[in-house]
Structure formats: structure tokens, C-alpha cells
Amino acid sequence: MCIRVGKACGGSRQKIGVINGQEVFCSPTSFTQLDQNQQKDLAMIVKETVETQARVDDENTNPGYVLLSERPNNELYWKAVTTIVPLDEVQSLLKKHHACFEGYKNCRGLIGATAAICWEPDDRTFELIAYRPQQRWGSKRLVDSLSVQHMDADCPSAFDNYDVRNHHNRIVPNSPCPILYGIRGDDPESLVTASTLVKSEPMESWMLFETNQGTDDHLQKKSIIQVKPFESVIVQGSVVENPFTIQGGHVLFTLNDSTGTIPCAAYEPTKEFRQIIRGLSIGDLVEVYGGVREHPLTINLEKICVKHLTLMTEKIENPVCQKCGKHMKSKGTNQGYKCRNCRTTSTHPNLQQKPRSIRPGFYEVPICARRHLSKPLKRMAQQSTVAAIGTSDTP
């Protein structure tokens, strides 16, 4: 997370939250830099906040803070969001820019903090986060799911908030953190309205954040030979092995391009999305979107664009003899057909086009299985980057 701090000097201001009853504003355009003393004071506040608030007892919490007076270019953001960045690379960047910084435990929090500063939004979304009073931290959250469902339906610019089919209320976190809920959407003002529609226990504070959630920033177009573990990729290819279901309900198929082959997986938690994947067949042309698992090297599907469906045929009957007008008889498996009357032979039965269960277009995993960075098809459609969107309800 990154906060830009300066002294407001007039101009327009925008309400972005309320903390303990006090309104919080930001001045997006006009502010001046802090002087050296103010920078020192700010560094003290940040240090004290991290050291008193961070849950360093959690093995996955490795905090870090960074203060920079100039924003470096966005190179590090893109590197951090798409691949794994070595810590020493970040530390040398920070030293080069004379940053004030400190890392704790394995110090990898410095990477996220620096990347957040370096982010210059290309695409971006917003999240309104509501916070609980401290005495409620860790207790069960009271957020009415039905009101969340209605809110999501009534706010066209909100996304990924409620999974109707799987009855999953995604705005509420599972961890014992201070967050009551987070509503995601494209329009900050609508999010403020949206939060008034959610029936919940009282919140202590709320704040709007600009985020890279739902932007697909993590994805890189690659050929199969370039695919590396822990990255997230977009790969186009043909289906070379029909989908099959393994124990646990996971569905896999094999994708091929001119550089190689790779398995693609729709895991059990992706629910109805697996039915789309099961509808694929050898020869179909698809573009897959997903994170790469290391062992075995596999693309975990987040989205798929079915570009072209191969024509599938099925046998409807034995061929008819041209002379006698009667059906021929099979000579045995793969041995062709023969007319009983005149002994005319044929190699091919009568075929008909087999109906396909899916259509060309985009398909995505349900909200309950979606990664934070994955761009929902709803956003893609609003940005008009999608010509056809399929859903598992209307194949």
C-alpha cells in the first residue's frame, strides 16, 4: 500500500473516508512536498505504526516500510506484479533513490512497498474498505449476505462482490484482521453509495483505495516454451489432448503451440467453470489466462477465450449402398463396410455434425474462485475489449 503525503495548497479536494467520525480528504492535484523536519516526523509515525500494528508473529507477515521523496519509474512495479523480484535489487534501488526504509523478518515487505510507490496506474479500480472497532477484531463478522447480493446487483460499476450461484459473499475476509469488508468497483463515488446498501455491524472507519485489483496487470503474453513457474501468463494454442477429470474433481487438458505443450488445469474450486473446460476438444483454438504452477508445470486457468471450435462429427448410421439403396454391413472394427447384396465396399459411415456444448468467446472462473488481480469479464466488456462473452449458463 502506498500513501502520497504532502501539504495541501488549495484546489479541489475529495472525500475519501471517515476515521473515528472525522472526514478524510485528498487533494489529487495540488500539494507541496514536506520539508526535512516534517519528513523526519512522518518517518517516526510510520516506523511506530509498523512496529506496533504489524502481526510479526504470523509466519507470513514480513513487513517493511519505504519513504521516498521522488517516485522512481514504474519498471519495478511491472517486475514485481509479473515475476519474482530479488530483495537485493529492491534494496539497491532504494539506496540509489536515498530512501528512508526498514524491513522486518525476511524483509520481503520492502518489495511490495516499493512496487506500490512505483505504480503508475494504466488501468485501475477502487476498493472501499470498512474497518471494525478494535474490540470486535477476531470475532465473527455480521454482514448480511442478502444485502451484499442486492448491492452488487444495484451497482453496475461494482464487481467481484457476491457470487450468487455459489452463495459466496466475497466482500468479507476470513482472517481475524480489522477489516469488516471491502467493496470493489470502478467508480469511487458509487462505492460510497454501495456501502450504505450493505447491512452490517457498525463500522468504525472507512477509506477508499485506488488499486490494481481486477486489472490483469499480472499477466504476460508468452509462448509455451517461455512459460516459467510462479508467473501468470496468456498463451494461445490448440487443444491436443481432450479434457479429463482426475480425482478431486480437477479438470485438465493439454495445450500445444509451435514451441511445445503444457497442461492446463481447472481445479475443483473453480466449480461451474470446469464444465466449460470439459466442453473443449482436440483441435480447438484457445487463449488461456492463468498462473503457472511449478510441479508439474501447469497453467492454472483463471480465464479462457475460445477462439475457434473444431468441427466434430459423429457416426449416425452405416453407409448406404449406391446401387441397392440398402445399408451396408460393418466388416469389423476399422475394417470398413460391405453391401451384403452386391459386395460393394465403403470405408466411411454416414456422419453428422456433433453439437458442441460451448461457443467461442470468453469464460472465467466464478467470483468465489477469482484471484484479486484477475480482470473480470464484466470489466472487459465495459472497456469494450471483448467481442463475445460466454457464460456457463447459456452455452
Q: Which residues bind Zn ion (CB under 5 A)?
A: 321, 323-324, 339, 341-342, 344
Nearer to Zn ion, 350 or 383 (CB): 350
In terms of CB distance, is 250 or 327 closer to Zn ion?
A: 327
Which residue's CB is nearer to Zn ion, number 16 or number 339?
A: 339
Q: How far is the CB of 352 from Zn ion (least distance, A)?
A: 23
CB nearer to Zn ion: give 19 or 324. Answer: 324
Residue 170 or 338 with smaller CB distance to Zn ion? 338
Smallest separation (angstroms) from Zn ion to the CB of 297: 55
Q: What single-letter amino acid sits at 341?
A: N
- Minimum CB separation of residue 315 from Zn ion in Å reads 20
Instruction: Tell me how far CA of residue 68 lies from CA of 34, 98, 179, 210, 256, in angstroms.
Output: 11, 7, 27, 19, 46
Q: Which CB atom, from 98 or from 323, has the smaller least distance to Zn ion? A: 323
Nearest 5°: CA angle at 353, between 349 and 358? 145
Distance of closest approach, residue 331 Cβ to Zn ion, in angstroms: 14
Nearest to 234 by CA among 289, 302, 307, 304: 289
Rounded Cα distance between 328 and 347, Å, is 11
Q: In the complex with Zn ion, which residue's Cβ is closer, 139 or 345?
A: 345
Report the nearest approach of Zn ion to the CB of residue 334 (Å).
21
Which three cell numbers, joined as nine digits, stand for 265? 488445469
Least separation in angstroms between residue 339's CB and Zn ion is 3
What are phi and psi for residue 87, nearest 5 degrees? -60, -40
Residue 76, C-alpha cell as written in the block: 519495478
Shortest Cβ 325–Zn ion spacing (Å): 8
Contacts of residue 21, defined as CB under 8 A and 6 or more positions apart, other chains included, come to none
Query: Which has the closest alpha carbon to 101: 79, 116, 80, 123?
Result: 116
